Structure 1
């Protein structure tokens, strides 16, 4: 009888979820793999695409450029955000709550918007560049190339490390620090010998997230790379140039990237598992008031970083209200840029809300079911499903976009050029946020509550929707808001999949920047920032938190 009971409604739901992941994630990635091994002209098995990639310095340079960027950004983010989190966790900073929110906001906008803002500030005719040239006669290095990419991505992604480390420090028992000090282990030595080993698993998890995001970022190197070509830009250019014929070479590069990203992910998991342990802080670290130069230095570092991190968003918002003459900013203020944004590309605003809205509805429904299946229906199947939900972390957005186009541009299911293919991509890529937050709440729900409802005559599904879902709702909504924010700021997938009828705000910002129409780009960017801020405030209100745990 036990074997019969296993085939209940949840078995059907789990099967349907697997089918969805297979059709819209596993199958596209498999088709991408197949395309990379077969000649686009003859249809015969061939390693020509891989030989072409590894035999030409042009392509290998893009790989080394990407590795150089991602490793540098990850290390810099850890070196900047780790001490910053330590300062704010141990020293009482005035306005620390507001500072944390501002740091979080700075990380939530699309990286390419930061790149565009820094062009306005540190470009060849940028505000800061012009100020130093005119006032001091100094010619500052411009924002373009490796140094610019490094600046933009570090400022964009270091807040992620800050959030991870801040959360980990709350679980460190202060008595450990006091014991170290009693043994004359103080200052930097105490931090290195005691604190760093305790938070190493957290640093590895945050570092992996930063690494993956920097490695997959398309917009920043595309806007300010100026010849410093990275792998996402290379894939985009190769795919766009080949889209009318042979797209096998772009598929081959994508396969190499996915294998590399998977290897990095597995190495991180292996190291993290070896160093993982549980901490329970009976006497957690609390920020203490400090005096003298230490207090001044701590406030200077915290306020200085926050000001620099927020500078792109603030300056873009400012320029959105400047008068424009054609594509040039002129003296005076007006709402012309906003009028142009609504009149010329208002469809992109509607598309963004429409596509994101539909995606979020699907994400909420799927996340609730998947979280329950993986948390409450333990077993090998649940473990495999949990692994499937992690795949979108490894696959860059541009590669998922290419995989979906390769798979669904012919019968029996043609989705290329439709809104459906964008919705599918958004759901797959951003579903993990809501799954994780939903599962975190579900772990705290006692099984006996459901058992009591069933014993009183309620069906399995009625118990789920009437009892379990209401208890999960805070985690579901919190995760859905994070998924929403990440969808409306998505570029790498959208730029591959959009058409004139499905253009989103991020694509519109990108194309307007490329055209030099900075006023409209600033107006759209400001709207995105405002939507992000409002979404975060709703998140804080509903979750009762003042921070986000990724």
Structure 2
């Protein structure tokens, strides 16, 4: 059947009478909000809702800002059209709503901070010479109202079978992606075609993208260095492969063995993702650098000369595998927990050995998780900045090259934009390859039927292999974090002055309990408090948007679904450095002027990290049969109720993955926030970065140790809040898998 442009639930056909079309009340409510935004609420940015320029759009238009009149006129016409019966199904209402949306965008760009953007605008509206500031509450509420009204008009026309909830979600997410993903990238991407004189020139772009230092492959012939693009791809493939393999080993050990220290292993596995990347790099240098602890020991023992082997590809690869393995572990663990145990039990009941069951049943069902884990690790490697900047040496990668193009001695925004476009192309290729590998096969294992099976035990040879992989990783991780833990409580870890001291901790987190309450005097308190509440707001918002997007992609069928899915991955593919710079370029001037606020930090985290929640949600939803959702909707439940009461309880592992990853990433991100922090809203990683640049390594490590302790506590609270999902008799009372009858 050819695909139509309308959104359809992927379920059996249910009589349309079960679903009511959008009522007039919802549309009128959105119109009421739009009227309030234009006539009552301050249109331009102020210090708060009632301070600063508090005039509404209508008042500003009457005062001479004539470029606001077209939008007000179209909105008035839309209100008049709403008086007619069945107005939501009319082409006139849809056209007027789209026109109002277009005029809202136009009025924001027609006049800038210093005046009109075009001569004809200045001629038509003399007050445009005074300029205008960014949009305030009125402008943002108008955008929300128009988005809601547009989704209602779509639903009234049968979009999503008349269900307002999925229609609104799709419309809102597309609008948010356009504003906070595509617009900044477009603003920065245009710079790739701008020559030094400020003119657009295709030749300039071609000269930048075809530079020999980008694509060289001389290193493979042993005749020199490879280009920076080749270096980035090689590092990404190696890092993603090793991180996925290590994550799978950890997930199998936790889910399919009787290992008694699973909780400790979970805690150790989470440590790398709750640590600022450059701190891990410093610890690796202290261990394996030319004067490092391990290097000195081996040099004395073997009577060899110490080298700088850790700087370059080996060091970056070690640090990235250490940092990204927890992400792949969480994704693959949720995939393993979602596999229906009755399939494996049926295989063993029929006489199959444990290795045969794993190879023919378990392994194929892991494909969604493996694909998602590899893709996330690969994109993380492309975007990583902290590890290459510390351990790169002469091994150049795209993220570092972009960083120096922006903040180096020679500011070159055009070159940075060109390199960012190359990264987007690499992400597109990785995404396409993942789709090809997944194919069109079904991986559903969770149905509406009872799941009373027992998980299959891990084959003995795989169990040995898993322990052989995990044990060295655990020892290495412990060594790195012993350095980090001890470094903050000695005088100077960089010079191996190991005299115990608490001075660094006191400097960062000194406090006193006085008569008037708790007084915080440490230099790190402001950044710590800001980081906690920013991450605390960003994490649930990121999870909500990510899981909701996954549900729309997996359970709704609409034109452009693949493009919609890929669009959510773009911000994750761009290096954090480029994200930060593009946000400054896009949101430092009207119409959306939010730099220097906490809002830009939260927005950056939400749209940069939402792909993790989306990919985890897709992997979980791929294993859940739609029959349970169909049953819920047959009983009269709407899309929102079905999502909340049926789907979310079944994908708790994916929700936990999204919450943990988004929270700790917001706490430890460096490359993006370094451009977005301000004196009022400083982040922990920016503070630590400043201490590292100042040579205060012990203070930086002390802060990192406290940050990790705080995040471990927060992750434990998230685990308690979300809980776990169990299918069938997942574990015996003694906590061990059932014996294999074929062994």
Query: Shorter chain as normaliser: what TM range?
Result: 0.7 to 0.9
Distance 1:135 1:196, change over 3 A: same
After superposition, the C-alpha distances for 1:86-135 in whole angstroms (9 at most, x for unaligned) are 56655533323422342233344343332121112222222222333445
Matched, 1:72 2:235: no
Partners of 1:438 and 1:169 in 2: CA distance: 14
> Does 2:427 align with 1:271?
no
Q: For residue 173 of structure 1, give the secondary structure of its aligned residue in structure 2.
A: helix
Looking at CA atoms only, which structure, 1 or 2, has the larger radius of gyration?
Answer: 2
With over 3 angstroms needed to count, the CA separation of the structure-2 counterparts of 1:405 and 1:448, relative to structure 1, is same
Deviations 1:254-276 (A, max 9, x none): 11111121121122122212565
Cα shift at 1:236: 0.7
Alignment of 1:356 onto 2:524: no
Which structure has more RCO (C-alpha within 8 Å, separation ≥ 6)? 1
Larger deviation, residues 115-124 vs 40-49: 40-49
- 1:19 corresponding residue in structure 2: 175
Q: Secondary structure at the match of 1:349?
A: helix
**Contact preservation (8 Å) 1:438, 1:472:** no
Cα deviation, residue 395, structure 1: 3.2
Between the aligned partners of 2:345 and 2:631, the Cα distance in structure 1 is: 36
The CA deviation string for residues 376-400 of structure 1, in whole angstroms up to 9 with x for no partner, is 8764487765554343333333332
Separation in 2, partners of 1:166, 1:12: 32
Q: Out of 473, 495, 502, which is 1:305 matched to?
A: 473
Q: CA deviation at 1:250?
A: 0.8
Gaps of 5+ in 1: 455-459
Count of residues in correspondence between the two structures: 530
The answer to whether structure 1 residue 257 and structure 2 residue 428 are counterparts is no
Q: CA deviation at 1:33?
A: 2.4
1:112 aligns to what? 278
Secondary structure of the residue aligned to 1:331 is strand
The two structures have a TM-score, normalised by structure 1, of 0.81
Question: Unpaired segments of 5 or more residues in structure 2?
Answer: 1-19, 22-87, 90-151, 157-162, 217-226, 510-521, 727-743
Which residue of 2 is the match for residue 509 of structure 1?
688
Quick one: structure 1 residues 361 and 67, their matched pair in 2 at CA, closer, same or farther if it must change by over 3 Å? Answer: closer
Pick closer, same or farther for the CA change 1:520–1:265 going to 2, 3 Å: same
Task: Say whether residues 1:216 and 2:383 are aligned partners.
Answer: yes
2:218 maps to 1:39: no
Partner SS for 2:201:
coil
How far did 1:242 drift? 7.7
- CA shift at 1:231, angstroms? 0.4
Distance apart, 1:316 and its partner CA: 0.2
Kindly provide the CA deviation profile for residues 220-239 of structure 1, in whole angstroms up to 9, marking residues without a partner as x. 01011122111000011101
Write the distance in 1 (CA, Å) between the matches of 2:383 and 2:646. 36
3-state DSSP class of the match of 1:125? coil
- In the aligned structure 2, how far is the partner of 1:160 from the partner of 1:225? 23
Separation (CA, whole Å) in 1 of partners of 2:302 and 2:261 = 34
| Superimposed CA distance per residue, residues 490-522 of structure 1 (whole angstroms, 9 cap, x where no aligned partner) | 122113333455432122223323333111111
- Which residues in structure 2 correspond to 1:329-368 (within 5 Å)? 330-342=497-509, 343-360=522-539, 362-363=541-542
Distance between the aligned counterparts of 2:257 and 2:542, measured in 1?
40
Q: Deviations over 1:455-502 (max 9, x none)?
A: xxxxx9xx969x975888875974444321121111221133334554
Question: Secondary structure at 1:332's aligned position in 2?
Answer: strand
2: distance between equivalents of 1:49 and 1:382? 31
| Aligned position for 1:173 | 344
- 1:119-268 to structure 2, matched below 5 A, reads 119-134=285-300, 137-139=303-305, 141-142=307-308, 143-169=310-336, 171=339, 173=344, 176=347, 197=364, 199-241=366-408, 246-268=412-434
The alpha carbon displacement at 1:358 in A equals 4.0
Distance 1:337 1:144, change over 3 A: same
TM-score normalised by L of structure 2: 0.62
Contact 1:101 1:546 (8 Å CA) reproduced? no
2:737 aligns to what?
none
- 1:189-231 C-alpha deviation (Å, 9 max, x unpaired): 9977886555344323221111111111000010111221110
CA distance in 1, matches of 2:239, 2:717: 31
Give the corresponding residue for 2:102. Answer: none
The whole-number CA distance in structure 1 between the counterparts of 2:236 and 2:710 is: 29
- Out of 423, 434, 457, the residue aligned to residue 286 of structure 1 is 457
Higher helix share: 1
Q: Note if contact 1:175-1:283 (Cα within 8 Å) is conserved in structure 2.
A: no
Aligned-partner Cα distance in 2 for 1:351–1:145: 35
Q: Which moved more, 1:258-267 or 1:340-349?
A: 340-349
SS in 1 for 2:242: helix
The whole-number CA distance in structure 1 between the counterparts of 2:195 and 2:346 is 64
Aligned counterpart, 2:65: none
Whether the aligned pair in 2 keeps the contact of 1:40 and 1:247 (CA below 8 Å) is: no
> SS of 2:200's equivalent?
coil
